[in-house]
Amino acid sequence: HLVVDNYVDEKAWRECVGKAAHILRAEELVAFPTETVYGLGANGLSTRAVKKIFEVKGRPSDNPLILHIGSLAQLHPLIRAPLSFHAERLIEHFWPGPLTLIFPASDRVPPVVTAGLDTVAVRMPAHPLAREIIAEADVPIAAPSANRSGKPSPTRAEHVSEDLDGRVAAIIDGGSTGYGLESTVVDVSDGERPPRILRPGGITEEELEEALGLSMVVEDRERSKQNVRAPGMKYRHYSPDTNVKLVDGPSKDMQARIDEARKRGEKVAAAITSERVEKISADEVLILGDASDLQTISSHLYNHLRAVDKMDVDVLFVQTFTEKGLGKAIMNRLYKAAHS
Ligand code: TXA
Ligand code: MG
């Protein structure tokens, strides 16, 4: 495969954007950075190209994809009804950025993208490379996260090559992504009803409510702790191979869990905030960041979840967070990472 480093100079940047756009127009796959995580892109209007995404990722075909656009002019042909009042406000406030909106789909959107639903997910990313590639390709780009299905989403080009090396035409290396967690998904497909959050992410519930001046309905079907206790294949997203266990409460509770596990002969890693470093002793310690800095914690989370699989440990204990602001998205991903 081809790794293009975009930070060399202006000419290299141009070449890299041109190459990516060329590959996309040829109905092949390109992995590229966005401000959330790396995406695995294909021409979103080509059934043939989009099918390759499902093959390469090992993604179930009933899981629909997000179409990435560069301008509002690209939105209108994809959706059926005029924009609802709420949709307009959310677009005004948060695009370009880590917000995906669900609209009624037009006939132009191939069923392979929507998994046969009558709605379509659309996002206008803010990352300059993503924007240029979409503009140059001049088509909406279908792109899920560029990981093998079930692995944590990639926040660095190296993560993409770990999972997809040799299976995509190019990987565009734009360094680390900013948010580190996927976009917030909000359903605005029914103009009569208030928008619903389907997946928490980079844009928080609080920010959405402030922009709209109303309370949000959160309908994250995968969120609850119950699902972690009885994980079907459906919920095995974002999972490292290592057993992940979430631990509430003060650091002495976590230390007790670590000690018990070690007594059983297990090797133990602990993912904790920097405030706890002095208080926790384990075989491996992953520092998530300062407890007050959820942004840093979310931007490094997937990197830690990938790193732990390369360590010689049997179990990872992760400290939990209050489900406010970004804490909501962080906990959502941690629930999914935790095996029963
Ligand atoms: O930040 C992101 O959103 C990243 C970057 C690459 O843009 N993409 C991403 O895509 O996370 P993916 O495929 O990993 O997640 C897309 C989510 C899935 O949970 C999918 O079920 C949901 O969006 N989705 C897509 N179309 C939908 C629809 N029509 N109705 C409801 N949910 C939909
Ligand atoms: Mg994904």
Q: What is the pLDDT of residue 230?
A: 33
| pLDDT (mean) for 53-65 | 94
Binned at pLDDT 50, 70 and 90, residue 12 comes out as: confident
Indicate if ligand 1 lies below 6 Å from the C-beta of 204.
no
Burial of 221 (0-12, 13-18, 19+ CB in 10 A): exposed
Please name which ligand lies nearest the alpha carbon of 144: 1
Q: What is the pLDDT of residue 308?
A: 95
The answer for residues whose C-beta is within 8 angstroms of residue 278's C-beta and 6 or more apart is none
Please name which ligand lies nearest the alpha carbon of 30: 1
H-helix segments, the chain:
10-25, 47-57, 72-75, 85-94, 111-114, 128-137, 157-164, 205-212, 225-229, 251-263, 294-308, 326-337
Indicate if ligand 1 lies below 6 Å from the C-beta of 99.
no
Q: Is a pLDDT exceeding 70 seen at residue 112?
A: yes
The residue count for the chain: 340
Burial of 224 (0-12, 13-18, 19+ CB in 10 A): exposed
With tokens 């990981």, the residue in question is 147
Taking the centre of ligand 2 as the mean of its atom positions, its distance from the CA of residue 92, in whole angstroms, is 25
Distances (CA, A) of 214 to 89, 118, 194, 196, 211: 12, 26, 8, 11, 8
Q: Is a pLDDT exceeding 60 seen at residue 14?
A: yes
| pLDDT (mean) for 92-115 | 98
Q: What is the pLDDT of residue 10?
A: 79
Q: Is a pLDDT exceeding 50 seen at residue 63?
A: yes
Indicate if ligand 1 lies below 6 Å from the C-beta of 242.
no
Q: What is the mean pLDDT of the chain?
A: 91
Q: Which of 151, 160, 185, 221 to mutate to test the pocket of ligand 1 (most atoms within 8 A of CB)?
A: 185
Q: What is the pLDDT of residue 238?
A: 66
Indicate if ligand 1 lies below 6 Å from the C-beta of 39.
yes
Question: 18-31: per-residue pLDDT in tens?
Answer: 999 999 999 999 99
In the chain, count H helices and then E strands: 12, 15
Which letter does DSSP use for residue 214 in this model? S
Taking the centre of ligand 2 as the mean of its atom positions, its distance from the CA of residue 247, in whole angstroms, is 25
Taking the centre of ligand 1 as the mean of its atom positions, its distance from the CA of residue 144, in whole angstroms, is 6
> Do the Cβ atoms of 92 and 83 come closer than 8 Å?
no
Q: Is a pLDDT exceeding 70 seen at residue 231?
A: no
User: Which ligand 1 atom minimizes the distance to the CA of 181?
Assistant: 1
Q: Is a pLDDT exceeding 60 seen at residue 225?
A: no
Q: What is the pLDDT of residue 229?
A: 35
Q: Is a pLDDT exceeding 80 seen at residue 223?
A: no
